[in-house]
Amino acid sequence: EAERIYGDVITLPRPGVRALVRKEPVGVVGVITPWNFPSAMVTRAVAGALAAGCAVVLKPSELTPFSAVTLAKLAFEAGVPAGAFNVVTGQAADIGPALTSSPTVRKLSFTGSTAVGVKLYEQCAPTVKKMALELGGNAPVIVCADAEIDLAIDGIMAAKFRNAGQTCISANRLYVPASRHDEFVEKLSARVRALCTGDGSSPGTDKAVTMGPLITQAAGRKVAASVQRAVEQGATVVCGGKHVAGRPENFYEPTVLTGVTQAMDIVNCEIFGPVAPVVKYADDDLDGVIKLANDVPAGLAAYVYTSDYRKQWRLSEALEYGMVGVNEGAISAPSAPFGGVKSSGLGRDGSKYAMDQFVETKYVLMGGKI
């Protein structure tokens, strides 16, 4: 895609003139990436900027800096010019303000929490920086009464428990019709109980490990507190719901909750952990479940499971999200746009869509003798 940055030549009603529209690199781009996919998040953001002709200053997460440094070395070996891809490691509190205040940096790309994204947005205002923001999600899954339950559970297992639920497009709320609720919970909990939580990187580790730990013990305590709060508000733990015995607190058992309602805290915040809250809804209330799914500030990803093509179209169009997976739980693809609406951010990563956000549109009027 880097070889195909398109412009336009426009014929105007005035004789002897032509309008030329060019796409030019925005300039130096600051990129701040998270820890949860330390290589993929870097390549997703940096590739679009480099392809558009921009130089990059990357600040990776202080929790996972080595992936970024290694990727920069590989980029230089592959022919990226010196000075085009720069990595600065350290604490966000020191590096972030330097990027946001610098007049040399003309765009800032940030992937992370909504709260931090808003703060960066405010810091970029004095220099009127362009921004690309991929922020928090709170992805709903709507399972319709006509859905293939096994297919839905396959997709949910991929969308919920991959990386121990530490993904921005993780399935966060499972809306299941009353007529299929018990069957769904039974099958889902059986699959979840079969997961083996452990440290797959340690020498001699049992190869049966299928889910790793959370990033820090503080993250584990946060997930545990979310589950405890849900129980206090009336939810029931079907399986999991506690730290893994004999392990540090960042090892948390994959969990299924039932009896969850829209009013509970766990439905209205991003869990970022291996917890699947199930919300029951009336089979004939499709409008109601659409409203529930949309009734959060975030709008990154959503998932739909139905065998009815009319519902597929209706739900995919009605859901206020930047990405919708229909009968599919793994929606991210390098050739497709990635990004959200509402409080989930600005702009899109991925393929030509990423390049679009790192260029400026210049209009040139060509006059004289043609």
CA-angle at 124, arms to 120 and 128, nearest 5°: 150
Inter-residue contact 346 to 324 (CB < 8 Å): no
Distance CA 170, CA 334 (A): 18
| Radius of gyration of the chain from its Cα atoms, rounded to whole angstroms | 23
Q: Which backbone phi and psi does 226 adopt, to 5 degrees?
A: -65, -40
Question: Is 148 marked active-site?
Answer: no
Residue 199's alpha-carbon distances to 158, 239, 318, 341, in angstroms, are 19, 20, 41, 35
Inter-residue contact 293 to 302 (CB < 8 Å): yes
* Continuous H helices in 274-338: 286-294, 309-318
Residue 75's alpha-carbon distances to 32, 83, 90, in angstroms, are 18, 11, 21
End-to-end CA distance of the chain: 32
Would strands 298-299 and 28-32 be described as parallel, antiparallel, or unpaired? unpaired
Distance CA 300, CA 343 (A): 8
Inter-residue contact 44 to 354 (CB < 8 Å): yes
Catalytic residue among 134, 249, 253, 270: 134
* Continuous H helices in 114-216: 114-124, 149-161, 181-193
Smallest CA-to-CA distance from 215 within 162, 269, 164, 255 is with 164
For 5-31, give the DSSP string.
Answer: ---EEEE-SSTT-EEEEEEEE--EEEE
Give the helix/strand (H/E) hosting 108.
Answer: strand 105-111
Distance CA 54, CA 355 (A): 10
Give the helix/strand (H/E) hosting 32.
Answer: strand 28-32
**Any idea which residues carry the catalytic annotation?**
134
